[in-house]
A and B are shown apart, each in its own frame.
Chain A
Amino acid sequence: MAEVSETTESESPGTEMVRQENLFVAVLRSLGNLVIGLFKGIAQRIIRFVKWTWRGVVRLAGFLRSPAKNTRILSDKFISGVHTFRREMDSLSSIQLLAIIIVFGVFLIAPLLKVVVGSFTIQEGEFVILLLLRNPVFLPQWSPADFRVIRPSPSGIVEIWGIEMGVILNSLYVAAIVTCIAVALGTFFAYLIARYEFRGKTILRTVLLFPMLSTPFVGAIGIKWFLGGNGFLNNLASAFFSWFGLTWTRIEFHGLAAIILVQGLSLFSLVYLNAYSSFVSIDPSLEEQAENLGAKGFTLFRTVTLPLAMPGIQAGAILAFILSIEDLGTPIVFSEDLQAQHCLAYQVFINITSESGSISPIGPAIGMILLAFALMGFLAIRKYAALRSYASGSKGGQWNPRTRRLSARATVLLYLLVVSMLFFALIPQMSVILLSFAEYRSSALFPPLTLDNFAILMNSDIQGALTRTLSYAGIATIGIVLLGVSAAYIISRRKIPGRTALDLLVTSPIAIPGTVIAAGYFTLFYNTPFFPRDAPMFLIVMSYLVRKFPFTVRAAYAGLQQTPVVMEEASLNVGAGRNTTFAKIVVPLIGLSVLAGALLSFVYCVSEVSTSLLLGGANYYQAPLTYWINVTRAGLPPIYGIGPAAALGVLMMSMQMVVITVTNRILKTRASAMTGI
């Protein structure tokens, strides 16, 4: 050892040491690496998927080459699989598994297949998928005119647009940018909440979740009102700046740029939850070691903390990607801009019904493309969800967090920054609240306020719809809890073949667009015992059950991960059967997580749109609340109209707010389960 140091001192520093590079450059470089890494990761995943499909094809070919021998091998594997199955499962679990498969098969797979089967067949001599490719609007395309992102107008309003690149590329690049925004914001907030203490932190934590509150139908109107060139915010800004004698340039977002803005600001909550989970499960000793070796501040963050939190961040990022690419609500808001119509979700939506009310094969064909992207991202998430805890596991992730207190001045600066960000993020929600109190909207700076809109809550139809919705959601939630906990338990503890497939099945509803399922329900089940002409009630409940299933499953799964298997082994060891163990040991220990999951599923059921709308139309005496919000919105004041619809929206938001706050408290560090992955 002594020899080495002597040599170094005598030589010039040039061989072993190098000047420290500029911090700015270093930051840029690592940010760049981050982004590149993310996309490399996606690319790798795609390549791996392609390779995997290729291997499957090769294997299939190999199989076909000597079918006899291979069939025997296959049947042997099958038989041993059956043995494992019999050993691991007992009668109760088998019933549970069967129930899950039946429910999902009938109410998810069957409608999906019905809808997409048309796209893969030949209709009138045309292979439908090829039809799409002949339409130039789908293919990647751009012209110099498309790159005018900022378009000043003689009216004094500056319009900000996106870049038109053809439907498929539009969806992809919008989702990519939205993901970047969501990741940046989400990680920033997550790190803030995880590592700093400051006044009002508890309130901020809850408020950060509010962008997740859904505001069907009225949110669209509210956003337009707030963001329009002559809308609320621009008017406010204009009035504000004219006080100082300055002129405010009115800005208006259009097309894809508007979609990026609105989606990015609402999806960051998802990344926030996942990133937060990751940050708090980092073993502090890992960071302490790094500090001990000389890293600190931003370097520490960049080199140790951030990489360790990557699995959670990436899981959140991929979820944001999927939800962005599938989102129909935001493109509809901006659908008067042609660009906004040119995205996959919207194209599915307008092409799904034909004039005769049956299902056009074109919409589902487009839906297939959408589904392919969503499923790819979805498969990627599952990999990360499994890896999420780099450093937890041994102690269940419950260390004392390393937090620092912010000085008063820093807190003020922080709030300035955060409040402005949150302000923009909560535009949909705030606009709905304001709409509910507004008598009408006009060019006046501030609308006249009134409480009259809330009279709609006295309306017997609405009250009926509310009670009905709560009961539908309640029944669906009971079913979700029963089946969901079973599913989570089977997936995490029973080592049967096909476990992964089951996991995919029960979490897949996140990736499947609601319009497709709704259309499937209508064509498959209308006028059958599941959906008698005037009674969509049963199907509405089943649709809730299937579509909002993943949240409870994921929450239960999170609870199971925190419950050491050894607890169950100890129970088995002293003679308790699997079912007794489940009832007496597992359920009490995961009960709280399941409760959180059930609450989430419940609240998401209440705010479900696609199937509620379509099925509710069959008999509005059985229609849920979201259907009525739409009906109210389309009606005319004073009884109906946008104000009262906004009042209903506020009601729905309050319900969601309560549930989300409670659930966040319960799940604490595992709150990322709220996002369903």
Chain B
Amino acid sequence: MVTIHLVNLRKTFGDVIATDDVNMDLEEGKLTTLLGPSGCGKTTLLRLIAGFYIPDRGRIFFDDRDVTEIPPNKRKTGMCFQNYALWPHMTVFDNISYGLKMKRMNGMKYTPAAIANRVEKVIDLVHMQGLANRTPHQLSGGQQQRVALARALVIEPDVLLLDEPLSNLDAKLRHEMREEIMRIQKELSITTVYVTHDQNEALSISDMVAVMDKGYIQQYASPKEIYARPQTIFVADFIGKCTFIDAEITSLGEYMKARLPDGQVVSGRSPLEGYPFQVGERVRCAVRPEDLQTERTDPTDNEIMGVANEVVYLGSNLEIHFKVGDIDAVSLLPPDAPASKGDKIRLFAPRANVMVLPLGGVDALRKIPGHPLYSQPAAVSSSAA
């Protein structure tokens, strides 16, 4: 089990920057998810760790070992590909045992009995007993996925890499496999890197989440942190639902005050510690729908007035789409809340739940001393909030 250190990584393809300024430590034994929309660079990062790409800049360490230049077959990583990549001309057994046959330790290799034994063990682990002699096209999607997993695990890698392994499965199977993966990962306590675009998946299985967009890591923290204290507008938007309100800072302090375009003033707090806010700076206030309530709970609560233009009944909640001036906002209320289309509504949001976020995305992060991105001159900055 190793800790993965990524230092200053950058990978370009021609003129396109796939990923840049990556500084992360992935703790041993933990499951880290790389989360983001298509094209954000998460798969690139995964493949960098696996060794299929050589970074243009930066180093990769497994514990103290610099593996940046080491070819993929010598890195002791086990990768599970998005399309499984099972070899069609081999049976399940051969697919799995292939890696074991390759393994050499001091010029010694595994005996056939040892191979059979180990393969059987891992087949049990992934619940694929009895299917060892099938060929890939005789297997269902879920079964193929498990074989791919088994293949990666049987070689006892230091790192397990999973590239959107569940995206080709139906919802129920996905749920099942998710549980399996978590179970196996905990059991073997193997450092795992998981790539997905599905935030629910990410939040439910991960120890740490790295949210990525356009090649940059926006935030690397636990799922709770990511949800409750997003550090950029992108993260706030990508995880869960959020209402965003543009505002201008009127005063600083532990709770900042900001004025909305239509004159209302809200007070909130920034999850970004250390960011040098300034009076007059344009910011965006984010508030989760469930934090917008119909009742005032504290005198310091913000009061927000608007006109409801759509009410959606969700069974467990009532989703209210309303307009504050020109701004669209969403609120989640109990299902029996008295609200209908066209009503004037008044909602309250506690100060602590209004998150003030600077515009500028990744560039904003650069201004924070102590942040991994601090004082890294953006190469050719292609990011925008």
Residue numbers of A with Cβ under 8 A of B are 87, 564, 566-567, 569-578, 580, 584-585, 588-589
Q: CA A573 – CA B158 in complex, angstroms?
A: 12
B95's nearest neighbour on chain A, judged by CB, is A570
Interface: B374 (CB within 8 A) = no
B68-101, CB under 8 A of A: which get 1 and which 0?
0101111011110101011111000000001100
Interface: B52 (CB within 8 A) = yes
Q: CA A87 – CA B69 in complex, angstroms?
A: 8
Interface: B116 (CB within 8 A) = no
Partner of B87 from the list A87, A567, A575, A577 (CB cut-off 8 Å) is A567
Assess the A566–B85 pair: CB atoms within 8 A. yes
Closest 3 CB pairs of A and B: A574-B99, A570-B85, A575-B102
Assess the A580–B81 pair: CB atoms within 8 A. no
Q: CA A580 – CA B74 in complex, angstroms?
A: 14
A566's nearest neighbour on chain B, judged by CB, is B85
Partner of A574 from the list B69, B88, B151 (CB cut-off 8 Å) is B151
B135-166, CB under 8 A of A: which get 1 and which 0?
00000000000000001100100000000000
Q: Which of chain B's residues 26-67 have a Cβ closer than 8 Å to chain A? A: 50-52, 54
Across-interface contacts of A589 in B (CB, < 8 A): 87-89
Across-interface contacts of B73 in A (CB, < 8 A): 572-578
Assess the B85–A574 pair: CB atoms within 8 A. no
Listed by A's residue number, 28 A-B pairs whose Cβ atoms lie within 8 Å are: A566-B85, A567-B85, A569-B50, A569-B52, A570-B79, A570-B81, A571-B87, A572-B52, A573-B77, A573-B78, A573-B79, A573-B152, A574-B98, A574-B99, A574-B102, A574-B152, A575-B73, A575-B99, A575-B102, A575-B155, A576-B73, A576-B98, A576-B99, A577-B102, A578-B73, A580-B102, A584-B98, A589-B88
B264-287, CB under 8 A of A: which get 1 and which 0?
000000000000000000000000
CB distance from B75 to the nearest CB of A (A): 8
Across-interface contacts of A574 in B (CB, < 8 A): 73, 78, 98-99, 102, 151-152, 155
Q: CA A574 – CA B75 in complex, angstroms?
A: 9
Across-interface contacts of A577 in B (CB, < 8 A): 73, 102
Which one of B76, B81, B103, B152 has the highest number of Cβ atoms from chain A below 10 Å of its Cβ?
A: B81
Residue numbers of B with Cβ under 8 A of A are 50-52, 54, 69, 71-74, 76-79, 81, 83, 85-89, 98-99, 102-103, 151-152, 155
Question: A573-B78, A574-B155, A575-B155 are known contacts. Are A564 and B99 too (CB-CB below 8 A)?
Answer: no
Q: CA A574 – CA B90 in complex, angstroms?
A: 15
Q: CA A575 – CA B105 in complex, angstroms?
A: 12
Question: A564-B85, A569-B72 are known contacts. Are A576 and B102 too (CB-CB below 8 A)?
Answer: yes
Question: A87-B54, A566-B83, A580-B102 are known contacts. Are A573 and B89 too (CB-CB below 8 A)?
Answer: no
Q: CA A149 – CA B176 in complex, angstroms?
A: 78
Across-interface contacts of B77 in A (CB, < 8 A): 573
CB distance from A641 to the nearest CB of B (A): 53
Q: CA A567 – CA B88 in complex, angstroms?
A: 9
Q: CA A571 – CA B99 in complex, angstroms?
A: 7
Across-interface contacts of A570 in B (CB, < 8 A): 79, 81, 85-87, 151
A574's nearest neighbour on chain B, judged by CB, is B99
B101's nearest neighbour on chain A, judged by CB, is A576
Majority secondary structure of chain B interface residues (helix, strand, loop or mixed): loop
A568's nearest neighbour on chain B, judged by CB, is B85
CB distance from B279 to the nearest CB of A (A): 44
Assess the A585–B78 pair: CB atoms within 8 A. no
B96's nearest neighbour on chain A, judged by CB, is A574
CB distance from B43 to the nearest CB of A (A): 12
Question: A566-B81, A569-B72, A570-B79 are known contacts. Are A575 and B89 too (CB-CB below 8 A)?
Answer: no
CB distance from A581 to the nearest CB of B (A): 8
Assess the A572–B54 pair: CB atoms within 8 A. no
Across-interface contacts of B103 in A (CB, < 8 A): 575
Assess the A588–B89 pair: CB atoms within 8 A. yes
Assess the A573–B72 pair: CB atoms within 8 A. yes
Across-interface contacts of B83 in A (CB, < 8 A): 564, 566
Q: CA A584 – CA B90 in complex, angstroms?
A: 10
Q: CA A585 – CA B88 in complex, angstroms?
A: 10
Which one of B51, B69, B78, B87 has the highest number of Cβ atoms from chain A below 10 Å of its Cβ?
A: B87
A585's nearest neighbour on chain B, judged by CB, is B87
Q: CA A571 – CA B155 in complex, angstroms?
A: 12
Q: CA A578 – CA B102 in complex, angstroms?
A: 12
B69's nearest neighbour on chain A, judged by CB, is A87
Across-interface contacts of A573 in B (CB, < 8 A): 50, 72-73, 77-79, 152
Across-interface contacts of A575 in B (CB, < 8 A): 73-74, 76, 99, 102-103, 155
Q: CA A145 – CA B343 in complex, angstroms?
A: 93
Q: CA A96 – CA B65 in complex, angstroms?
A: 33
Q: CA A569 – CA B79 in complex, angstroms?
A: 9
Across-interface contacts of B98 in A (CB, < 8 A): 571, 574, 576, 584
Q: CA A566 – CA B103 in complex, angstroms?
A: 20
Across-interface contacts of B86 in A (CB, < 8 A): 570
Across-interface contacts of A585 in B (CB, < 8 A): 87
Across-interface contacts of B81 in A (CB, < 8 A): 566, 569-570
> 17 extra interchain contacts, Cβ-Cβ under 8 A, other than A87-B69, A570-B87?
A87-B54, A87-B71, A566-B81, A567-B87, A569-B52, A569-B79, A569-B81, A570-B79, A570-B81, A570-B85, A572-B73, A573-B73, A573-B78, A574-B73, A574-B78, A575-B102, A589-B87
CB distance from A573 to the nearest CB of B (A): 5
CB distance from B53 to the nearest CB of A (A): 11
Which one of A564, A569, A577, A578 has the highest number of Cβ atoms from chain B below 10 Å of its Cβ?
A: A569
Q: CA A569 – CA B86 in complex, angstroms?
A: 11
Across-interface contacts of A580 in B (CB, < 8 A): 102
Partner of B85 from the list A87, A569, A584, A588 (CB cut-off 8 Å) is A569
CB distance from B8 to the nearest CB of A (A): 19
Q: CA A580 – CA B109 in complex, angstroms?
A: 15
Across-interface contacts of B72 in A (CB, < 8 A): 569, 572-573
Which one of A574, A576, A577, A578 has the highest number of Cβ atoms from chain B below 10 Å of its Cβ?
A: A574
Q: CA A573 – CA B73 in complex, angstroms?
A: 5
Q: CA A576 – CA B94 in complex, angstroms?
A: 14
CB distance from A615 to the nearest CB of B (A): 42
